[in-house]
Structures are given as structure tokens and as C-alpha cells.
Amino acid sequence: MQSVETPIAPEKMPRHVAIIMDGNGRWAKERGLPRSMGHRQGVLALRPVIEQSIRWGVPYLTLFAFSTENWARPKEEVGALMGLIEEFFYREVEELRSQGVRIRILGELSALPERPRRLVERAVELTEPNRRLTLSLALNYGGRAELARAARLLAQEAVEGKLRAEDIDEAALAKRLYTAELPDVDLLIRTAGELRISNFLLFQSAYAEFVALPCRWPDFDEQQYAQALRQYGARQRRFGGLEARERQ
């Protein structure tokens, strides 16, 4: 395979990058356009970040596309977002499949309108054997809802006698999250400058490095991605312990 230069040393590259894709509305407003145009432009930013992740050898990419709280937006905006989700899966699934992308969904799909839901389910099925990049899309996802669901699943198994209370540990909980097969988040990027987590991957981001970039999501490109990676590469991760040189 052709070697590709990564923005930081390959051994320092994160395994799991998660992105809160924010600022579509502001991107549109700054141009005197309706918010839905910002979302449309935001969808166009997806392909480069997916392809770049493949090229740089990031095996897990997770994107926050629609939160459980986003239903509170005006009906037209929610409708536009659902339409774009449908369009994205309809248009892109073949290409993604041929690139070796496995698509997974984090969140409660059953609440989505039927057309986008069906296309999403089909995309998950079609790309299941792929392993080059695992692309998880958080759709109707909320970190608290996910934790409550995991607690419900554990309680159900306990009631059925399949699990004892004393067997419930961090790993048992992690296994009941939508992210069961994914590693913890290494790098959490948020665009549009906001410094909050907005109910995204609360459990999985426990030790993620947070990088906030001012650029609006539709402007997120290879340079922005590389910049986030360089910030990540310069950090010392400690996981509550000490660095090797501090330990002496």
C-alpha cells in the first residue's frame, strides 16, 4: 500500500476520533441563507473527513449527526435534516461500501421516519463485513438516554436471572452501550467553538482529549482535521496516573 504522510507520527494517531459537527446554522446565517442550507453544506463536508480518516489510518470515526434533544427544533428544520439523512444514505452507501467502510448507528433508530430509517438499516446491513474504517453515526443519540437504556438492559437480565448484581461492573455496562464493540474515544473534536459536550458519548469520552475548533462544520476540511490531530499529538495523556518521566 502507498504510504501516506500523517499529520502526527503514525504511532501517536488516535484510534477513535469522535466529532460534534456543530455550526451549520451559523454558517448559513453568516451568508444570509436559511439554516437548512447550512445543513446541506454540512453533508458535503462528510466525505473528505471519511476519506482522510481512511488515508491516515484512523480505524474508528464517530460523527454526531442528530441528538435526542434536536427534536426540539422547528418542524421544518427537523424535516430538512431527516431529508438530508435519507439523501446521504441513498447517495453515498455504494461508494462507502467500496471503500471498505462499515457503517454503524448509535441511537434509537425506531423514532426516525420510515424512509430514512429503512435506508439507514440497509446501509448498516450492506457494509457489515467491512473493516477498513468503522464509521459510527449518532442519530437520535443522547448519552443519558444511552446510559438509561444500558441500565434497563442490565436490570432486565438480572430479573431474568441471567446476571447477578455483583457482576455489574464498568465492562458489563460498556457492553450494553451502542458502542459495545468500539474502543474509548481518544480525540473528541467540536467545531464552531462551543466548549461543551452536549450529551455526546458521556461514558466513552471519560479520558478523551477535547479539541475545539472555531471553524463552522461546513468549513471543516483536511487542514482543520490535521490541525485537530496536531493539537492531540502535543497532549500528554495521563489517565489519572503520572507520565513516565514524572514517576522517578
Active site residue 169: no
146 near Mg ion (CB under 5 A):
no
Is the alpha carbon torsion for 110, 111, 114, 118 positive or negative? Answer: negative
Facing residues of 64 across strands? Answer: 20, 138
At position 65, the amino acid (one-letter code) is A
Q: In what order do the strands lie in the sheet with 209-212?
A: 101-106, 133-141, 60-67, 16-20, 187-190, 209-212
Print the binding letters for residues 147-186 with ligand IPE: x by CB under 6 A, - otherwise.
Answer: ----------------------------------------
Among 22, 86, 146, 209, binds Mg ion (CB under 5 A): 22
Q: Which is nearer to Mg ion, 22 or 92 (CB)?
A: 22
Instruction: Point out which span in 21-29, 80-88, 131-139, 212-220 binds Mg ion (CB under 5 A).
Output: 21-29
CB 203 within 8 A of CB 178: no
Residues numbered 68 to 87 that lie near ligand IPE (CB under 6 A) are 70, 81
Residues numbered 182 to 241 that lie near ligand IPE (CB under 6 A) are 192, 194, 196, 198, 217
21 near ligand IPE (CB under 6 A):
yes
Measured distance CA(7)–CA(230) in Å, rounded: 6
Scored b (16 or more CB within 10 A) or e, 6-32 reads: bbbeeeebbebbbbbbbbbbbbbeeee
Question: In the structure grid, which three cell numbers stand for residue 118, read together?
Answer: 429503512
Active site residue 24: no
106 near ligand IPE (CB under 6 A):
no
Residues labelled as active-site residues: 22, 70
Interface residues toward Mg ion, by CB under 5 A: 22
Interface residues toward ligand IPE, by CB under 6 A: 20-26, 64-67, 70, 81, 192, 194, 196, 198, 217
